[in-house]
Structure 1
């Protein structure tokens, strides 16, 4: 007699859903339950770079500027700003009558303190490198005016100020040293609790300077199991899931109680290639990996068509993206020839550090690359372990035998500099930045420096077009695809929108019965 057995994945999904049902039943009426694919990494916005952590922090914190729904920069904690003719001094007028959730007043001194810790290399905050390369000093002119003096002209500075890492934190909370676990900002929601492994709870801030939020409380949960997300949104145990695994889009399209949200993707998915370690120190091997990658098949199967093959290290939503950038066509014969020319006629073995949610992607690459004689060794890791491994030094990666790391990047500023400099500049080499493969090209470094300071839009585009071609030719990464941002909400939830790259915006969200 044949027995029908449930797979471990299904059992995990059902168990997780049953636990979620209990948690949901214990939740308060008027609470929006949001499920994401990974847990938060820190409650300090300057000490993390993850999109989904940023989503949890965004209701609590605010920056001087933000993008609106039309993807235009608008004032937030600043009411206006100006720049000198040289492009090196940006002066912001701050909003009056604002206070942090702990009662500390928001003023120019608080802004100076918030960025002062970013500029302090001894603090070692994970997201601060971007600011140290741009900002020379921050000065309080008076209680409502602050001036940023830059090291060089930086035309995208208002966009840089919109990112999660630029959120202004309470100076009192920073002095206590508790921001990593207890966020304190000026936002419409106040932090209540972070129960590790289970949830983060936030409630409406009654002293918020702006419009009161339309939902009394937010509850953030997470799972790495896609089937849990699908079951949770269909059953109503979650009101919003992000990102929605593409495999479930067709099913949910037919569910009248669920609405699909689709945004313009700004994330680039890739494998960083460790150019310090054989065999990837040879550009021909790196190029072979790119030729052995069937991007169109990945988009069709893994993304269910919700995305595009990546032809550039910039995403289509980014300023400077070049649709004519060459990329790599799928060509197994070309990949084999390059390997042979590099002295590997029998193929190569490379390893990849990846996280559990990305297992289907690296397994797909494993099958593709085998056709070209490339053996991919998958080193699957829990999130925290992966972060340590991916951001290790050359010596640490050599000792661990890590040839590559699977990851994605979305700058958040929708600007070429924010997307390229952290990943490809020599100065951004891990562990200082997100150049996880230690790639270095002096010509590219010069172009990135030039492009970040150029104030002429047309010239900036030309500079970044050259940069994209150099990165592609050097095959610093195996570029995979630009996924569309997809989320799902219960039809009673209105006003949610997706910022390019997977950011969930909730400032106008309401929830009916």
Structure 2
């Protein structure tokens, strides 16, 4: 089988950019977590209604990179592990997980008496078949990128035990099991099939109806391993064409949730909804090609970073729904936070000193969804002086075009957003020499060695020290400027009860346990 790698890379990146397009902004209700809904009573109607955009391709759990399709699959499927609202691992199909003494093997024990919605038993052979499909040589799964260079093989040890053999020790490996496309499918599942036509899963709900152009209906799965905690009897999904249509649907009470946005909160009455706690979901990285002028000069890169007013970016670009970044890829919600770095702030005098009276000219290439940030960056650079900046704004298809010269990996300066990942994953994907998404063409053997050590130890003190060193290199070398970390939250109808225990995204396992809906 011949694999079109450029097409695969684009499909993979479309997942990494979950939450880029404004068209996805409302479905990113699913990227928000935590927060109390209305304090409440048990469900009376038992039906929760949400709005999505119709998936743009065939729905397949193993290969889809469409967020809306992932949500639909996630309601009816289950992974081994998920993350709660604070990033703590929780067993789902897995009852326990443990590393070997050398850190090269992780053993996962499945819960007893698991089964799929068609009544078939879910065993270790299904887990092995699922991950073989993800990591195989000819895999077209977006999830494959998370395991490249880490996971060597998967094997069953009896009906309920699975051994994951790694290429190297990786302390955070269980977090990778919460990634995209990792819900467990029956052995023999066709990676080319349209799952919606014969949906089989082990999730909280069963897909009972899918109507193209209209929506989908899910009913509670009585055989789900934790069915007692699933209050809802039904979830209805309705497809909407755009943000405005979803906003109107929420305003009329047609759907139960919508992503918080300046437009939504200014249109709606605060007394009419409940807002969940914010959840950090992405950063918009400014990638500088460090192999070519002018950004082969560290002084120019530093001047760029110091010319930015990050507080103003948070206010104007993100409407306050963000936290100032400091040019490292450690999210504010990461379990380990680097220490000892000075927070970068706008410093016009130092910018002038670094540039030495010269004017730096360049073009920023980005896509429609990042236009607002690109414009503010352009304005701030030129207002400080010493920069002559033009913008090239492309459609998503143009920006992520197939081919070796695809703009998002080859333009001198790009702005690309990245969904939340582990710090070490970012090194593997965007900093490591030769990494497929290393748009900066950056290389640092020291950074790579520190990251390998970071993932090979579970000692908290050592990991903190290594995190400090990793962050310092990212901060000093500046192949990527990270001005802010964006956050999201959900607006819920007052009739929704309970607390979302995790994000309604693939790391959170699309978890609706404990959520109810009272009669209007």
- Shorter chain as denominator, the TM-score bin is 0.7 to 0.9
2:360 aligns to what? 347
Residue aligning to 1:293: 308
In 2, the alpha carbon distance for the partners of 1:90 and 1:483 equals 33
Q: Are residues 499 and 480 of structure 1, via their aligned partners in 2, closer, same or farther at CA, if it must alter by over 3 Å? A: farther
> What is the aligned partner in structure 1 of residue 394 from structure 2?
380
Q: Does residue 167 of the first structure (1) align with residue 170 of the second (2)? A: no
Structure 1 residues 37, 403: closer, same or farther in 2, change over 3 A? farther
Matched, 1:495 2:509: no
Q: Is the 8 A contact 2:399 2:406 kept in 1?
A: no
Distance 2:501 2:68 in 1: 12
Aligned to 1:424: 431
The 8 Å contact of residues 183 and 191 in structure 1, kept in 2 or not, is answered as: yes
Structure 1: distance between partners of 2:322 and 2:224: 38
2:151 matches 1:135: yes
What is the distance in 2 between the residues matched to 1:301 and 1:263? 18
How has the CA–CA distance of structure 1 residues 426 and 102 changed in structure 2, closer, same or farther, with 3 Å as cutoff? farther
DSSP-derived class of the 1:268 partner = strand
Structure 2 length as normaliser, TM-score? 0.79
In structure 2, the residue matched to 1:408 is: 418
Of 29-38 and 89-98, the range deviating more from structure 2: 29-38
Structure 2 Cα separation of the partners of residues 281 and 90 of structure 1: 41
Deviation by residue 1:181-215 (Cα, 9 ceiling, x = unmatched):
97643111234566677655544335434315514
Residues 1:186 and 2:202 aligned together = yes
Structure 1 partner of 2:464: 461
How far apart, CA to CA, are the structure 1 residues paired with 2:257 and 2:315?
Answer: 25
- The within-5 A match list for 1:264-303 is 264-265=279-280, 267-276=282-291, 278-303=293-318
Matched position secondary structure for 1:267:
strand
Corresponding residue number in structure 2 for 1:480:
483
Is 1:241 matched up with 2:258?
yes
Aligned-pair RMSD on alpha carbons? 3.5
- Give the Cα–Cα distance (whole angstroms) in 1 for the partners of residues 205 and 97 of structure 2: 26
Q: Which residue of 2 aligns with 1:4?
A: none
Number of residue pairs matched?
A: 470
CA pair 497-340 structure 1, distance change in 2 beyond 3 A:
farther
Q: Distance in 2 between matches of 1:419 and 1:489?
A: 33
Name the CA distance, whole Å, in 2 between partners of 1:442 and 1:36.
43
Residue in 2 that maps onto 1:370: 382
Distance 1:238 1:501, change over 3 A: closer
In structure 2, what is the equivalent of residue 216 of structure 1? 234
2:76 to 60, 78, 100: 60
Name the TM-score, length of structure 1 as normaliser. 0.80
Measure, in 2, the Cα distance between the counterparts of 1:163 and 1:301: 32
What runs of 5+ residues in structure 1 fail to find an aligned partner? 1-11, 17-28
Separation in 2, partners of 1:370, 1:280: 17
1:329 counterpart (320, 323, 345)? 345
**Could you say which residue in structure 2 is the equivalent of 1:359?**
371
Give the stretch that moved more between structures: 227-236 or 119-128. Answer: 227-236
Taking a change above 3 Å as real, the CA distance of residues 401 and 153 of structure 1, as seen in their structure-2 partners, is closer
CA contact (8 A) 1:404 1:437 kept: no
Aligned 8 A contact 2:85 2:503 in 1: no
Q: Distance in 2 between matches of 1:64 and 1:319?
A: 21
Cα shift at 1:442: 1.5
Which structure 2 residues correspond to residues 254-269 of structure 1 after superposition, within 5 A? 254-265=269-280, 267-269=282-284
Q: Structure 2 CA distance, aligned partners of 1:157 and 1:399?
A: 27
Determine if contact 1:65/1:161 at 8 Å carries over to the other structure: yes
> 1:350·1:375 contact (CA, 8 Å) conserved in 2?
yes
The superposition leaves residues 10-60 of structure 1 with CA deviations (integer Å, 9 ceiling, x where unpaired) of xx99xx9xxxxxxxxxxxx86433246896777445545676664443222
CA distance in 2, matches of 1:50, 1:469: 35
Structure-2 separation of matches of 1:145 and 1:89: 13
State the secondary structure of the residue aligned to 1:406: strand
SS of 2:75's equivalent? coil
CA contact (8 A) 1:192 1:203 kept: yes
CA distance in 2, matches of 1:223, 1:338: 48
CA drift at 1:489: 1.0
Matches within 5 A, 1:93-104: 93-104=109-120
**In terms of mean alpha carbon deviation, does 309-318 or 92-101 score higher?**
92-101
- 1:361-400 CA-to-partner distances (Å, cap 9, x unmatched) read 3332232233232414132314x554446xx64x333998
2:169 to 118, 138, 153: 153
Distance 1:131 1:359, change over 3 A: same
Q: Deviations over 1:305-357 (max 9, x none)?
A: 3321012321121122225433431134444554457xxx233122222243x
Q: Using CA pairs below 8 Å that are at least 6 residues apart, which structure has the higher relative contact order? A: 2
Answer yes or no: is the 8 Å Cα contact 1:353–1:402 preserved in 2: no
Query: Which stretch shows the higher mean deviation, 181-190 or 479-488?
Result: 181-190
**Cα deviation, residue 130, structure 1:** 2.0
SS at match of 2:342: coil
Deviations 1:109-139 (A, max 9, x none): 1111111122213214222122232222211
